[in-house]
Amino acid sequence: MARIYLSPPHLSGLEEKYLQEALASNWIAPLGPQVDAFEQEMAAYLGIKAAVALSSGTAALHLALKLAGIAAGDRVLCPSLTFSSSANVILYEKAIPVFIDVDPATWTLDCVALDKALRRHKANNTLPRALITVDLYGQSADYTAILEICGAYGVAVVEDAAEALGADYKDVKCGTFGNAGILSFNGNKIVTTSGGGMLVSNDDTLVEKARFLSNQAREPEIHYEHKQLGYNYRLSNLLAAVGRGQLVVLDDRVKVKRDIFDRYMSALGDIEGVDFMPKAAYGQTNRWLTTLTIAEHIAGFNCGAVIAALEKKDIEARPIWKPMHLQPLYQKYEYFPNAKGDISKLIFENGLCLPSGTSLSENDQNRVIDIFLSLVC
C-alpha cells in the first residue's frame, strides 16, 4: 500500500490548463499574467482590496512586519503555539519577540494574557509595536477582542492566516483582519503552489509597497536603480498558474477537510482522555489538520504510541507544533502564560495531528481509525 501522508498536495486537474497558458505565452519568469490573475482572484475570494503574490508565507510575514515599521530593538507580540516562521520574521528585523499563551477553549491567542503583556510593557515604557496573530490549524483568533485591545494601545496587527485559507471569523474570511494578512501555499496547504505565499490587505498603498520591496525595491528607471533594501520575494508565473487551478476548488476542498474531521470525531470522540481541538463559537474553521490531545493517565496510551503505531503501517502523523518559548532559539524571551498555567506546553506535550489530506480516501481514513482504536485499553 502507498504511504499515507499528513497533508499532501492534491491537484484539481485544472492546473495543466493554466500552466499551458503560461508556457504558450513564454512567461516562465517571476511576475506575469498568471501572477496578476492569481492575485485578483484571491482578493475577490477573500473580499479584500488588494493582494501581492510572493515566494512564501514567510516572505509575506517579513514584508508585513517591515511595513508596520518594525526596527531593531522593537518588541513584537506573537503566540507561542505556532510554526516557527511566525516568530522567525521578528528576528529577521532584529526585533524582540514577546510570546503569548493560547486560550484552552480555542487554542488561539489568549486575549487576557495579551492585555496583561501590553499593560506591563506600557508601564515599563517598552510597548510592543505589533502583534502577529495566528489562525492555528485553520481556526481564527478572536479578532473583535484582539483589534479592540491592540487599538487601545496603538499596536499594529498582522494576521498569520497561513493555515486558515477558506476559514472565517463571523462570516468574514480569515486573512482580512488587521493591517495585513498573510497566506501560505506550501506543499501541505489546501491551496499549494509547491512554495509560495501572499500578502493581502484593504490598504492599497501597503500592498503596493510590499510589491515594490518584493521586486528588489527597483526604482522605475530604465537602468537598475535602488534607493532602499529590497528582496527577491516575487512568485513565479508558473507557480501562480498552479495556484489558480486549486483556488477554483478551494471551497470543495475545505468541505472535504471538515468531513474528514467529522469522521475522526465520530469514531474517536467518545474515547475517554481523547479531546479534539475545540471549535470556537465565533467562526468556521477549515480543519486544515485534524488535531487532538490524549491524556495518558486517562486513556492509557499517549500520542507517541499512536504516531509509532501508524508509522509501522507507513502512515504519517505528527505532534502539535512545539511552542516557541520552549524552543532553544527562543527560550530567553519573555512569555505570558494563561492564568490557569502553560496551555501551549500542555497542548504540545499531549497533542497529535492525524492524516488530513483532501485526497485521503474513506478506506485509508478507516485504516488510521482502526490503528488508533487498537491502542484503546
Query: Domain coordinates of the chain in residue numbers?
Result: 15-247, 250-373
pLDDT at 16 over 80: yes
Stretch 78-98: mean pLDDT = 98
Where is average pLDDT lowest: 26-35, 274-283, 330-339, 364-373?
26-35
pLDDT given at position 377: 75
pLDDT given at position 336: 98
The pLDDT confidence band at residue 279, using thresholds 50, 70 and 90, is: very high
Q: pLDDT tens-digit profile of 172-192?
A: 999 999 999 999 999 999 999
The pLDDT confidence band at residue 1, using thresholds 50, 70 and 90, is: confident
pLDDT given at position 30: 85
The pLDDT confidence band at residue 216, using thresholds 50, 70 and 90, is: very high
pLDDT given at position 57: 98
Q: pLDDT tens-digit profile of 284-315?
A: 999 999 999 999 999 999 999 999 999 999 99
Cα–Cα distances in angstroms (integers) from residue 133 to residues 33, 142, 192, 242, in the given order? 32, 10, 22, 28
pLDDT at 323 over 80: yes
Stretch 147-165: mean pLDDT = 98
Stretch 135-142: mean pLDDT = 98
Spatial distance between the Cα atoms of 301 and 309, rounded to a whole number of angstroms: 11
pTM here? 0.96
The pLDDT confidence band at residue 29, using thresholds 50, 70 and 90, is: confident
**The CATH number, out of the four listed (3.30.43.10, 3.40.50.10490, 3.40.640.10, 3.30.9.100), of the domain defined by the range 15-247:** 3.40.640.10
Q: pLDDT tens-digit profile of 365-374?
A: 999 999 999 9
pLDDT given at position 69: 97
pLDDT at 31 over 90: no
Which CATH number is associated with domain 250-373? 3.90.1150.10
